[in-house]
Each structure stands twice: as structure tokens, then as C-alpha cells.
Amino acid sequence: MCAFAGFYNPFQDYQKDNARYEAILKQMCEVQKHRGPDNSGVWLFEQGGLCHARLSIIDLTTGGQPMKKADAGYTFGITYNGEIYNTRELRLDLEKQGHTFSTTSDTEVILTGYMEYGPDFVKQLNGIFAFAIADPVRKRLCLFRDRSGVKPLFYTIRGDEIVFSSELKGLFAYPGIEPVLDKKGLNEIFSIGPARTSGCGVFKGISELFPGHMLLCSRDGFHLQCYWKLESKVHEDSYEETVEKTSFLVQDSIRRQMVSDVPICTLLSGGVDSSLVSAVCAAELKKQGRQLTTFSFDFVNNDKYFKASAFQPSRDRPFVEQMVKYLDSDHHFLECDNVTQADRLYDSVKAHDLPAMGDIDSSLLHFCSLVKQHNKVTLTGECADEIFGGYPWFHKEECFKTAAFPWTMDLKPRKMLLKDDFLDYLGMDEYVQEAYQKSLAETPILLEDSPVEARRREIAFLNLRWFMQTLLNRMDRSSMYSGLEARVPFADHRIIEYVWNVPWDMKTRDGVVKNLLRQAGKGLLPDEILFRKKSPYPKTYDTNYEALLVSRVRDMAAGSSSPVMEFLDKEKLEGFLASPSDYGKPWYGQLMAGPQMLAYILQINYWLETYHISIE
């Protein structure tokens, strides 16, 4: 896991101003150093330049980047962020083709595979990745992003030049690229956020490479190509075969993602997803005579303040304690206090270069910084709910009948604090409905589906395209802000492809939510964990935290130079601050309506102010 950036223009010779452009590359790398604090490198060639900030996980001594490799007098180059989990198989195949290797890194395997097979080699990769390859033979630069969009890759095109970066801040380190918001960007923040339309970089003129896509840049222009997408097919396996295949795919993915030259750990919530990941890891390490390290998250005094609700029925700690005993893991209970959680809201903005999921992000970022003090690599249970249908909106009748994103069916909470003239300008309902309808139209259909099954498929696709991407962004930025590599075994494209076509009856056999995954985990976990009712990422229920946010928002509103107040109605805001919060009514997904809305407002203000954003 690392960061990279670069630029390319087939009609320009950057080496004519070597010192200037090498300095630019170094700065693009420096601003992303948190993602790769172990090493860095730059490579300037005639048509472009690549830079890399490295977090050393595989091949600690010889895997530096940008990596170059010569063939028949041509020098190819790569800069890469991610991990490839089938490196061994790919390398063996390439060796049979006559290739030799000077490192043990997956980076060299990707570059060599490209040299042998061209861009389509990306289809052979199993992993999480974004990378750029300079190809002197075909005279082009190629950008690639993994199928699920686990690793980020932003870019902007200015005439014949493309500038790209793992994070938005890398683009802003390039001269002449400024943070500007137009109407579309404002809608992304206020109407869609903290989600983001696929491919949208929020800032004017900035895009993000679509998951499962490549961008080929040459004298012929810029050509975006899709190399992977979901396909709807009739599921022909029996229920027993489906459980068996699901179990194999899940366990194989977890075992593959344990590959590392440094010790791994897992994030353990006591839910079925993270517990399955931890159980497989613990069993594998035990075979080697090693003990798994696990971490759980909670908030100071949450035992005192916690209140069960429909979307958060129980605390995690009792289930974590049961799993720690079951796994015999080296466990660390991590806690976050109110002030830290509020202060970290601003670090979360810097990690994303955007407003994020409020304290859901800030607390995770803080916890990841504590995990990094012990480990560089962690495995998580992220994405299982999106793939196996674990969220409430997979099951609620109103979500089936309402033509809206199921996690934000009511836009009223978003509108209640905004100025009336700003609401008129945004056209919030139209913007959201257009984004929703476009995603529906892209859902892979199956003629054999009943109307109900077809609607379930739409909701599943919306979750994969939107909600899962939001959580993957959250995990990547929150972990990489401290140089922690977070792996997501459930996002393996083989699992996504297979489970996508499994009928709903098999996914929820006997009316049990996510029963397919639970049955696939039989024998790996205690039944109390395997069949535990879903409880999302923990939140603080301490009203003192909300009081702290209220105080900060009031101070912000009173300031004469708070940029977010250009959009907020002071009277509406004060009325909201004075009213009691509804802790059981989420405003986005499962984010609580009170404190997390306040946190989001604080993040927007800090973002506008700190990034010196221009409004167009």
C-alpha cells in the first residue's frame, strides 16, 4: 500500500526542464507521504513523470518504485498502489514464457505481465490496486483501477496533458490545478454526500477512474475502457453447492490476503463478518505456531451511555470478549474519547480531501492510528453486508416501493438547514433523482427474474456501486492516513461475481439475514457469533459529545468568515441545535440524525476554509 502520482503528455518533452518537473514530482509525492512513509522515488522521462511514496509490505528491500524494466532496448516503468494476491501463480506463468525477475515484489510481476500480454493482463490480477504504466513501445501511458474500487485514482485532463494521483491533494500539488466547486460539486457535497457519484472527483475538472476500468493515454487521445463488470446469469448450483462454493471463496480470499512480509492483524467487532476473517487468520497462524493479534473499537463510557435501537441493537464488547477467548488472540481494546473524536473530524477531511462520514470516519481514523503503532497490515470484515444483503434496506418494503436511494429516501434532513435560495439553485431533488435513475439503468438485468427479484437486484447494484464504495473510501483513507494497510477479503471479485447471481431465497434461507454467509461459516465460529443480529460500526451515545459539537457549530456560525455559512440559514441552524436529537433515526445509511449531521457541517466548513476552495 502506497501512494503515487504523475503526469503525461505525448507531445511534450518534460526533460527539457528536468529540475522543475522533478521538483513537482517530489512535491506530489511529499503531500501523500502518510500513505507511504518508508521510502519514495521519482522518474522523469521525455513524455511524463512518475513518483511513488512506499509503505513496505512485500519485498522490503528490493521493491522500490517507480520500478523500471528494460526489454529490447525499451524501458517500461510502473508506479503502483495495492496488493496482488495471486502473484505466485502469475509469476510462474511468466517464468514459463521466459521472463526473469530481479525482485520478489508483485510490482515487478504486474509490469512484466503488461510487457508480455499488454493492458489485458489486468484481467488476470486478483487484488486491490491502482497503477500507472509507461509503455515506450506503444508510446502511451496506461492507468488501471481494481474491480471494486478499493484503491483510489484521481486525474484531470488539460488539453493533451493528464495529471493523476492516488489522492486529490497530489493533483493540487501540480502547478495550475486549483480546488474549484461548481454546481455539480456543491450537489455532490450537500445532496449526495458523504457518498459520491462514481467517477466524480467533486472538484471541477477532476475525475476518478471508474472501478474495473483502464485509461489509455497516447497521441490518439484518452480512451477509457471497461475490463470488468457484473453479469447477471441464471444460478444453477443447488443450495448445498452454493454454501460450499461460498465457503471456499471466502476462506480462499482470506488466506490469500494474509500474504505479507510483516505481521498481520485483524479488526474484530464481534460480528459475523470480522469474526469469520479473524477465525480463518487465527487458524492459519496457529499452524505456524503464531498467535493472531486483534483489535476492537469502542468509546469511553459507552457501557454507561449506550441505548439499544432498531439499527444498533447491542454493544460489541461482550461478543468481542467471547471471540477473543475462542480465538486465543492477542487482543487490544481501543477506545476514543469525545474531544479526540471531535478533533479528528478535521484530520478525516485531510485524509479524504473532502467532507466524510463525520465521526464515523474520524473515530476510525483515530483507531487506525493506534493499530499502526503495532501493525502495518490488517484484515477487515468490510463489504459483506453489501454483497450478502445485510442492511435493513434489503428487507424493508418501503425501500422496494420508493424510487430513491434506499439509505437516503428522505432528503428533508439535508434541506432543513440550507438557505432557501441555495436550495432553489441546487435543485437537489432533480440531481439525486438523475443519479439514481442512471444507476438503475446500469443494473445488469436478467430476463428470468421476477419483478421482486429484479428489484432486489437493483437494490444490490445500488449498494455495490454507491454504499460499498463510500465505505471502501472510508477504510482506505482512514487507514492510509497513518500508513496502515487495510485489506478487505469480502471485496474479492470472485465472491462478488458469484454471490451476485445467487437467488435471494438462498441468501436469506429460513428468513435469516445473510444466512448464506452464516451457513458458509459453520464450524468456524460459535453459533452465538455466527447468528448474531447485525450491529453496525459503534457510535458514542454520550450526550456530552453532542454538546461539544453544538458548541463548536455555534462558534463556527458566529464567526464572520466561516465559509459554510454562505449556504446555511442561521435561524434554521439554531433551531436544529436547540432541539433534542433523534438517535434512532439515521440521516444517511445508519448515521444518526443528530451528532453526525453536526459533524458533517463542521467538516464542510473546515474543508472550504483549509483548502481555499473557490465557488463558481
**Catalytic residue list:** 2
What is the spatial distance between Cα 194 and Cα 349, in angstroms, rounded to a whole number?
11
| Of 368, 564, 349, 389, residue with least CA distance to 482 | 368
CB atoms within 10 A of CB 578: 8
Q: What are the residues whose beta carbons fall under 8 Å from the beta carbon of 156, sequence distance 6 or more?
A: 162, 163, 164, 171, 177, 201, 205, 206, 207
Rounded-to-integer distance, Cα 339 and Cα 63, Å: 40
Q: With 0-12 CB in 10 A as exposed, 13-18 as middle and 19+ as buried, what is 558?
A: exposed
Single-letter code of the amino acid located at 609: E
* Backbone phi and psi for residue 186, each to the nearest 5 degrees, phi listed first: -65, -40
Cα 339 from chain centroid (whole Å): 26
608 CB-near residues (< 8 Å, 6+ apart): 563, 564
User: How many residues in the chain?
Assistant: 616
169: CB partners within 8 A, 6+ apart: 31, 32, 350, 353
DSSP-assigned states of every residue in 549-579: HHHHHHHHHH-TT-GGGGTB-HHHHHHHHHS
Cα-based angle 275, 278, 283 (whole degrees, multiple of 5): 125
Phi, psi of 224 (to 5 degrees): -90, 130
Element (H, E) at 470: helix 468-480
Q: Give the Cα-Cα-Cα angle 205, 210, 214 (nearest 5 degrees).
A: 100
